[in-house]
Amino acid sequence: MNINKLQEEIRNVFKNVVSKVGKDNRIFLNVQKEQTLNILSFLKNNGFDHLALISCVDWIKENQFEIVYILTSYLLDDERSKTHIILKAKISRKNPEIMSVLPIFENAEFYEREIHELFGVVFNGNNRLIPLFLYRKYEIPPFRKDFDTREYSKNFYDSVLPVEDREK
Amino acid sequence: MDRNKILKWFKEPGKMGHKYSLSAIYFCTGCGIIEVPPVITTRWDAERFGVIPVATPRHANLFLITGYVSIKTLKAIIKTYEMMPDPKFVIGFGSCPINGGMYWDSYNTIKHLDKYIPVDGWIAGCMPRPEAIFIGVTHLWTLIDKEMADGYKKYKEKYKYYRENQEKVLGKLEWEPLFPLEEKEDVK
């Protein structure tokens, strides 16, 4: 299957999807957040059976998070095997909620837990959004752009006094 | 063997034994551990200096902190340090345990390791060469000779403050204090 053919097919099935082809056989799809599950299951049925990554971008000036799904294929017989599909959905920063893709891709669980911990995005349908990496609790999730990491480390780690000073 | 040292061996056999047979705990923190395999194997052969890696903290008396210390790692470091038998020596290896290094403004990396456990010596650099470990070890010999490598004694004396600092970062620690926190009154 050709890339352009695949793109046409996606456009025919799903309206208001903005797609473009980038370098090295990459297809970028900008979708609404309600559409994500449908498009992902459509792509999975079309041979893109491997979810390589879920990641998150904080666009603080636009007041939005962008959730990025990267799909590849294990099929080896045609052009699809060399294609990456990059699917982007924007969600609001005030109420960051999106449907979990666990029913389609099981390996999404840990990516979603990581994003929940570091960005505070809630994935509806994932029941194991428990702490993964961090030991301490932070008021603002630490990967958000408005978390001032320099000030935090200054206020917190420098407030622990050396033992020699504490005796005085 | 150096004949001049024979008298020393008879005088202080324990100290000389500790000095020339350092058993380093093979605990991997951060990126500096990449320097340790060539140091202990044939390329730089640490056994020339009496340093060998051991598997468990119960057998060790030298603790190399090789790299940045995140909060979770600090907990493991404290546990490991408290398991080691006396006398024990800690060397901070690389810039990160000294003052944070390139992680000086990180939200998750403690900056000064010596606020939480006593450290006998530092090897600065990012990364230090393997030869720097041997220079550090020979300096440690001098410190042991002069009885200046007394971090483990300091830990016992000032355990209250160390424990307070540890609990400030880690929250309530789930294990019992290693030494009594309150000073006992003398029984008359």
pLDDT in tens, B28-64: 888 888 888 999 999 999 999 999 999 899 999 999 9
The ipTM, to two decimals, is 0.80
Nearest residue on chain A to B158, alpha-carbon basis: A163
Partners of A162 on chain B (C-beta within 8 Å) are 112, 114-115
Q: What is the mean pLDDT of residues B181-188?
A: 66
Q: CA nearest A54: which of A4, A126, A156, A142?
A: A126
Q: What is the pLDDT of residue B60?
A: 93
Q: What is the mean pLDDT of residues B124-141?
A: 91
Q: What is the pLDDT of residue B8?
A: 80
Q: What is the pLDDT of residue B137?
A: 92
Partners of A138 on chain B (C-beta within 8 Å) are 107
In order of A17, A164, B89, the CA distances from B100 in angstroms are: 46, 19, 21
Q: Do A142 and B108 touch (CB under 8 A)?
A: yes
- Is residue B157 a part of any domain in this protein? yes
CATH number of the domain residue A120 falls in: 3.30.460.80
Q: What is the pLDDT of residue B147?
A: 87
Q: What is the pLDDT of residue A77?
A: 74
The answer to whether the bond into B127 is cis (omega within 30° of 0) is yes
- Is residue A162 a part of any domain in this protein? no
Q: What is the pLDDT of residue B1?
A: 62
In tens digits, chain A (168 residues) has pLDDT values of: 677 888 888 888 888 888 888 888 889 999 998 989 999 999 998 888 899 999 999 999 999 999 999 999 887 677 778 889 999 999 999 999 999 999 999 999 999 999 999 999 999 999 989 988 898 889 999 999 999 999 999 999 999 888 888 877
Q: Do A135 and B75 touch (CB under 8 A)?
A: yes
Q: What is the pLDDT of residue A76?
A: 64
- Is residue A166 a part of any domain in this protein? no
What are φ and ψ of residue B56, in 5° steps?
Answer: -125, 155
Q: Do B71 and A166 touch (CB under 8 A)?
A: no
Alpha helices in A14-132 (DSSP H): 36-45, 108-119
Alpha helices in A92-144 (DSSP H): 108-119
- Is residue A159 a part of any domain in this protein? no
Q: What is the pLDDT of residue B31?
A: 87
B105 interfacial to chain A (CB closer than 8 Å): yes
Q: What is the pLDDT of residue A79?
A: 77
- Is residue B179 a part of any domain in this protein? no
Gap between the Cα atoms of A112 and A48, Å rounded = 20
- Is residue A89 a part of any domain in this protein? yes
> At B19, which helix (H) or strand (E)?
helix B13-20
- Is residue B184 a part of any domain in this protein? no
Alpha helices in chain A (DSSP H): 3-13, 36-45, 108-119, 149-157, 163-166
- Domain count for chain A: 1
Range of the domain at B115: 13-170
What are φ and ψ of residue A66, in 5° steps?
Answer: -120, 115
Q: CA nearest A53: which of A39, A37, A67, A34?
A: A67
Q: What is the pLDDT of residue B187?
A: 59
- Domain count for chain B: 1
Sequence-ordered list of residues with C-beta below 8 angstroms from that of B164, at least 6 positions apart, any chain: A166
- Is residue A60 a part of any domain in this protein? yes
- Is residue A73 a part of any domain in this protein? yes
Q: What is the pLDDT of residue B185?
A: 61
Q: Do A160 and B162 touch (CB under 8 A)?
A: no
Gap between the Cα atoms of A33 and A27, Å rounded = 18
Q: Do B169 and A138 touch (CB under 8 A)?
A: no
Partners of B75 on chain A (C-beta within 8 Å) are 135
Q: What is the pLDDT of residue B184?
A: 63
- Is residue B187 a part of any domain in this protein? no
CATH number of the domain residue B52 falls in: 3.40.50.12280
Contact B29, B67 (CB under 8 A): yes
Range of the domain at A144: 3-154
A150 interfacial to chain B (CB closer than 8 Å): yes
- Is residue B5 a part of any domain in this protein? no
